[in-house]
């Protein structure tokens, strides 16, 4: 049997999908009109000592003398870490094999632009032992975005070897293949950088706003009892009873939304209109009332996007940690809650009234898209979903942030300073534009783009279109002419009928006889259980801290001390509110960085770490208790929106 036949049989056993793709590789390569090697014959393989060397367009992919030793040297030079390894460019597989040998058991992602390269490797070398590894994921073709999905899959899997699939990946890149496909490899590396930085971004956000989220939730907790969830709206746009699915139009707040302004009245005749909080003002200025507006950000300035934007035909969808005035007095027809993104809100919801979860990628636009999907949409049309700075603009003209900059500008602090700060504050870099060429984006926006790409792959039945190709290229978001949307039939009458029917059904179910009373009883029990559990964790943590500190001072009865700490650990681990208390807990590396005991004194270092850990946990639990007590006194207050400064005349 040939190497290909041997390797193919191994692939069919371990990677049947990949085997099927490689069996039709030559035809697929020709149809895709790839940049190289358009003709598989352009790949040649020659002897390299006792091994083989691949040559493409006259370039050696590996060392022409000793490719095995070269691969081992490169793999050994990788920075130490616990994350998965990513091999960019397979070639004849020497690099991937070296990583597998030097890091046994390490999860491995292999990304290769051209399937014909992988197939040629399987024709030239016996790779059955390597292909039998159980922690290898292949990402073949596409634009490299599938690497994020592969890393996410590894993160969800069981970790049996002690590695941390959530840690930053180690990257081994074949420089020759990267030089032959620079744009593909640049995008693949961008995907990896985005993945590696997401935890730092999330941690920084939580450290900055975590206490604000808890305070907001304490004020809004009765809303979980008193407002229905979006679960009653599920399937509203779905096809049925001889009627096709309704398309949904999603208005994000990027600069390209300006171009959609004249089209909005016609779009509203054909689509359910869903707006991010940041774009509602724009729609109202065009005379269009969104059917739904979503608010999920808990910050004050996101609350201001709704300031003086009365829309009695619009239904508000909010997360329970939003800035309290959003739920206390905004002039909308109806208000719905989506599932809480935070442990405190989820604890109450799960015991009182689950609302219906939506995905969250850090931006209201991500949650708005997931809401459109939950409605049952088969087509989602977008404008303003640029996730970049086309024309060096951050938002549509007239957005709250732009108006704020103009209103507060002075001769020494002009509005342009605020705009430049927004452009440069997030580690900007160039990325592929949906219209060709490049566009400026930043680390935060690239995280959102990666979220969308993963979500689009997760729900392939939803077709996603963008009206204007001004922003960053997003795999799965297809460019479409506005005329294609305007060619859809007008269905506003049907949309209104479905919205009314859904509102009536939700209202009847939520306000059914006895349901309000039972829900109130469940709420009181859940709140009492929450407070009791938090107080117990606070007291247990204080006990653990004192035990560790006393032992650190006296260094006696080591066995008794460890047993006492174990008892505290078990009580905390068995608590139903441990996730609520731990939400404000500092990261492990921060606690370790503050330790003063020498590393050689393992017992003393353990005691010092335990003391710091328990003190931080006790403080977090106590903060929740105090804020919940304060929130109960202020919940349900009158909404108040400070006046927006008037524009200064220039």
- DSSP secondary structure code for residue 62 in this structure: S
Residue 556 and residue 440 share a domain: no
The distance of Cα 629 from the centroid of its chain, to the nearest Å, equals 33
Assigned domain for 216 exists: no
Quote the CA–CA distance of 628 and 364 in Å, as a whole number.
26
Assigned domain for 21 exists: yes
Quote the CA–CA distance of 522 and 385 in Å, as a whole number.
40
Assigned domain for 421 exists: yes
Tokens linked to 286: 């065009």
Assigned domain for 186 exists: no
Residue 360 and residue 304 share a domain: yes
Q: Which among 80, 104, 245 is positioned nearest to 169, based on CA atoms?
A: 80
Tokens linked to 454: 């993963």
Residue 566 and residue 612 share a domain: yes
Residue 527 and residue 619 share a domain: yes
Q: Write down the pLDDT at residue 28.
A: 42
**Tokens 């946990």, residue located:** 617
Number of domains the chain contains: 3
Report whether 356 contacts 229 (CB < 8 A): yes
Q: Which strands make up the sheet holding 136-140, listed edge to edge?
A: 136-140, 108-112, 85-88, 170-173
pTM: 0.74
In degrees and rounded to multiples of 5, residue 325 shows phi and psi of -60, -20
Residue 272 and residue 140 share a domain: no
Of 180, 209, 244, the last residue of a domain is 180
To the nearest 10°, the Cα dihedral for 123, 128, 129, 135?
A: 100
Q: Write down the pLDDT at residue 365.
A: 92
- Give the residue numbers spanning the domain of 90: 3-180
Q: Write down the pLDDT at residue 431.
A: 86
Report whether 107 contacts 138 (CB < 8 A): no
- Mean pLDDT (10-residue bins), the chain, 650 residues: 90 86 62 46 78 88 91 85 86 93 88 89 92 84 76 62 61 90 83 70 63 89 93 90 88 94 96 94 93 90 81 92 83 91 91 90 88 96 94 86 77 80 79 89 84 86 95 92 95 94 92 89 94 95 92 84 91 91 79 79 87 91 91 48 39
Of 491, 510, 529, the last residue of a domain is 510
Quote the CA–CA distance of 214 and 275 in Å, as a whole number.
26
Residue 454 and residue 568 share a domain: no
Q: Which among 523, 152, 143, 584 is positioned nearest to 359, based on CA atoms?
A: 152
Residue 572 and residue 437 share a domain: no
43-48/292-295 β-pairing: unpaired
Q: Write down the pLDDT at residue 648.
A: 43
Assigned domain for 206 exists: no
- CA dist 49 → 176, 601, 634 (Å): 20, 52, 79
Total count of residues recorded for the chain:
650
Q: What is the CA radius of gyration of the chain?
A: 28
Assigned domain for 640 exists: no
Residue 162 and residue 265 share a domain: no
Residue 469 and residue 433 share a domain: yes
Report whether 267 contacts 309 (CB < 8 A): no
Report whether 538 contacts 625 (CB < 8 A): yes
Of 150, 180, 210, the last residue of a domain is 180
Assigned domain for 250 exists: yes
Assigned domain for 645 exists: no
Residue 246 and residue 139 share a domain: no
Helices (H) and strands (E) in the chain, counts: 27, 17
Residue 420 and residue 362 share a domain: yes
Residue 98 and residue 33 share a domain: yes
The distance of Cα 377 from the centroid of its chain, to the nearest Å, equals 21
Report whether 434 contacts 469 (CB < 8 A): yes
CA atoms within 13 A on the CB side of 64: 8
Quote the CA–CA distance of 198 and 202 in Å, as a whole number.
6
């Amino acid at each position: 049997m040939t190497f290909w036949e041997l390797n193919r049989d191994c692939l069919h056993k371990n990677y049947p999908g990949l085997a099927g793709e490689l069996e039709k590789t030559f035809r697929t390569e020709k149809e895709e009109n790839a940049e190289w090697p358009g003709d598989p014959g352009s790949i040649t393989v020659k002897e390299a000592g006792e091994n083989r060397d691949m040559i493409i367009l006259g370039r050696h992919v590996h060392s022409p003398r000793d490719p095995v030793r070269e691969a081992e040297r490169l793999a050994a030079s990788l920075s130490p870490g616990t994350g998965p390894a990513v091999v960019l460019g397979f070639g004849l597989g020497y690099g991937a094999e070296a990583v597998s040998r030097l890091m046994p058991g390490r999860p491995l992602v292999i990304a290769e632009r051209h399937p014909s390269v992988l197939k040629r490797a399987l024709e030239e070398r016996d790779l059955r032992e390597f292909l039998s590894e159980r922690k290898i994921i292949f990402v073949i073709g596409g634009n490299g975005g599938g690497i994020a999905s592969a890393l996410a899959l590894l993160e969800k899997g069981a970790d049996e070897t002690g590695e941390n699939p959530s840690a930053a990946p180690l990257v081994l890149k074949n420089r020759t293949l990267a030089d032959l496909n620079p744009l593909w490899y640049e995008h693949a590396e961008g995907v990896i950088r985005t993945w590696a930085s997401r935890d730092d971004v999330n941690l920084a956000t939580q450290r900055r706003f975590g206490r604000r989220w808890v305070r907001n939730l304490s004020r809004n907790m009765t809303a979980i009892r008193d407002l229905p969830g979006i679960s009653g709206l599920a399937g509203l746009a779905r096809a049925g009873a001889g009627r096709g699915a309704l398309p949904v139009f999603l208005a994000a707040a990027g600069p390209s939304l300006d171009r959609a302004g004249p089209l909005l009245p016609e779009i509203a005749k054909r689509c359910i209109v869903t707006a991010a909080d940041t774009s509602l003002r724009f729609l109202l200025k065009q005379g269009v009332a969104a059917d739904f507006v979503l608010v999920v950000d808990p910050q004050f300035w996101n609350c201001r996007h709704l300031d003086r934007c009365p829309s009695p035909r619009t239904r508000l969808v909010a997360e329970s940690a939003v800035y309290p005035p959003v739920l206390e007095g905004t002039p909308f027809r109806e208000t719905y809650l989506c599932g809480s993104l935070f442990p405190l809100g989820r604890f109450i919801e799960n015991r009182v009234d689950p609302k219906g979860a939506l995905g969250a990628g850090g931006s209201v636009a991500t949650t708005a898209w997931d809401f459109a999907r939950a409605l049952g949409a088969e087509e989602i049309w977008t404008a303003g979903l640029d996730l970049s700075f086309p024309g060096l603009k951050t938002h549509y003209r007239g957005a709250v942030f732009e108006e704020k900059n103009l209103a507060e500008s002075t001769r020494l602090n002009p509005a342009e300073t605020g705009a430049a700060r927004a452009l440069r504050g997030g580690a900007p870099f160039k990325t592929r534009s949906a219209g060709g060429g490049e566009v400026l984006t930043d680390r935060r926006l690239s995280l959102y783009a990666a979220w969308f790409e993963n979500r689009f792959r997760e729900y392939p039945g939803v077709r996603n279109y963008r009206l204007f190709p001004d922003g960053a290229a997003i795999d799965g978001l297809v460019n479409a002419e506005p005329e294609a949307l305007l060619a859809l039939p007008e269905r506003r009458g049907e949309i209104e009928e479905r919205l009314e029917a859904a509102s009536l059904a939700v209202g009847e179910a939520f306000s059914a006889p006895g349901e309000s009373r039972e829900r109130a009883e469940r709420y009181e029990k859940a709140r009492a259980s929450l407070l009791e559990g938090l107080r117990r964790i606070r007291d247990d943590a204080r006990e653990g801290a004192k035990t560790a500190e006393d032992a650190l001072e006296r260094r006696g009865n080591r066995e008794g001390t460890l047993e006492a700490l174990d008892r505290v650990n078990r009580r905390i681990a068995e608590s139903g509110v441990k996730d609520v208390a731990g939400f404000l807990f500092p990261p492990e590396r921060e606690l370790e960085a503050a330790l003063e005991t020498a590393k050689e004194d393992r017992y003393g270092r353990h005691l010092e770490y335990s003391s710091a850990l328990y003190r931080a946990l006790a403080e977090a639990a106590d903060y929740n208790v105090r804020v919940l007590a304060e929130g109960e006194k202020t919940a349900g207050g009158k909404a108040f929106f400070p006046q927006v400064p008037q524009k200064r005349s220039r």
